[in-house]
Structure 1
Amino acid sequence: MYKGFDLSDKVAAITGSTAGMGLAIARGLAQCGAKVVVSSNDKEDTDQAAHALSKEGFQVAGVRCDITDRRGIGPFGAEAKRAFGKVDILFCVALGPPPMGPVNDADLETLDRLLISTVSNNLALAQQFLPEMAERRYGSIVMMSSIASERASPNLGAYGAGKAALNGIVRSIAVEWGASNVRANAIAPSMVRTAFSKDFWGDPEREKTRMARTPAGRLAEPEEVVGAAILLASPAGSYISGQVLFIDGARSVT
């Protein structure tokens, strides 16, 4: 294995990592040698995911975190660091329920909650780890964005607005902390076959319409996000910062 992908001395914390893309990322980082902290808003799911990865031979801890509740951010940060003594890599995958439909129909209180969980609370989470990353002169913050942050959708307007704001946070972190060898990037997938998007891919007609606009002709699978995640987390990506990396089967260039 190219040594740039070796994470054997690194610790990664991943929110929203008991299923879908988050779990695939946690497993991929662990396969490269990282110790991983998995998390979700459900303690039982968190414990089960940690146990399953442990049975595969990985060093893993489970720490509950509800990204919609600011009060839990600090305790999560402390527990995540306590699990293995530090956190070098943070993946923010968790998301609160987004409002669906046109922005003109969006319930503004629901939108407020979305922006808090997507933008404010993920920034608060990054703040838990950035100073110590800077002290050690190694850190990677990766936020889960979306193609909706750049391409407008009649059904995901509010969701896309939140992700666009998250992209701005990523760029600011990259600029402010770059001199300390701390990087920040975003991964922006198109539709991935997860429970989050099941309303789309579970409907044959809606999936057919979606695939007609995607050059790859299919949805992404959660594991297809992992390669980019490893690159952005590892020394192999040491000069990649402030970027939004689209994983979309060429959807964004059509």
Structure 2
Amino acid sequence: MKRTKAISLYIAGALGQIAFVCLVVYLLRNIGFTVDYTSPLGMTAIAIGGISSALWGIIVSVKYRKISFKTIVADFFKVKQSYKDYLLAVLFIFIDFLPVLFGGKVIINTWFIPIVMFVKHIAFGGLEEIGWRYFFQPALQEKLNYICATLITFVAWSIWHFLYFYIEGTIADVSLVPFLIGLFTNSFILSALYVKTKNLWLCVMTHSLINVLSQLAIGGGDYLGYVSKLLIILIAIRIAYGSDKKI
């Protein structure tokens, strides 16, 4: 399979599948069905739509990269990695949530809640990395530079997220600008980690931890938040270009 066809197939599959689920959800809601987290029908729709990026990442990776499903699963759980790479992920997360230390707080009602949330977000978040960072952006970077590939991934990833939010019924609660700024920053964090380490698990873990902390942390200075995100992007670009001479 040629690169252009593989990329087109992934985008058509990942966005097409979740868009089709959105259409079905729209029609069902219009005739009186409850389709959100509170109903079995809603959970089914969320699962089918939410799995789209991972599913098509697997399908296209198998065809384009000539790897097996077993290899993808092994890469997904490849936790054995240099401690320096884990520290890099921790550094990104620390800088990202640094504003919380100044005027914000983390609310944990029960000690095991973050663990449960982390496991949940591996499935509802971490799985996305099979599509976006494991296949899509590396395929883009075969012809495009790192920054261009990250920006294109960000746009496609944003569209996917808004379709997903519609399915789960939370799109009205999304603060557009803060969300897009956060997603933009995460695009650089996760892409830099993959370029540097070629490790899918680190992206899965980092994505899940960011999701958990985003739900537990409240408050923090806006200006410091912008500074920290700009710093993350600059570090990510430096790491990416320092790790791969081709980009």
TM-score normalised to the size of structure 1?
0.27
| Richer in strand (by share) | 1
| Richer in helix (by share) | 2
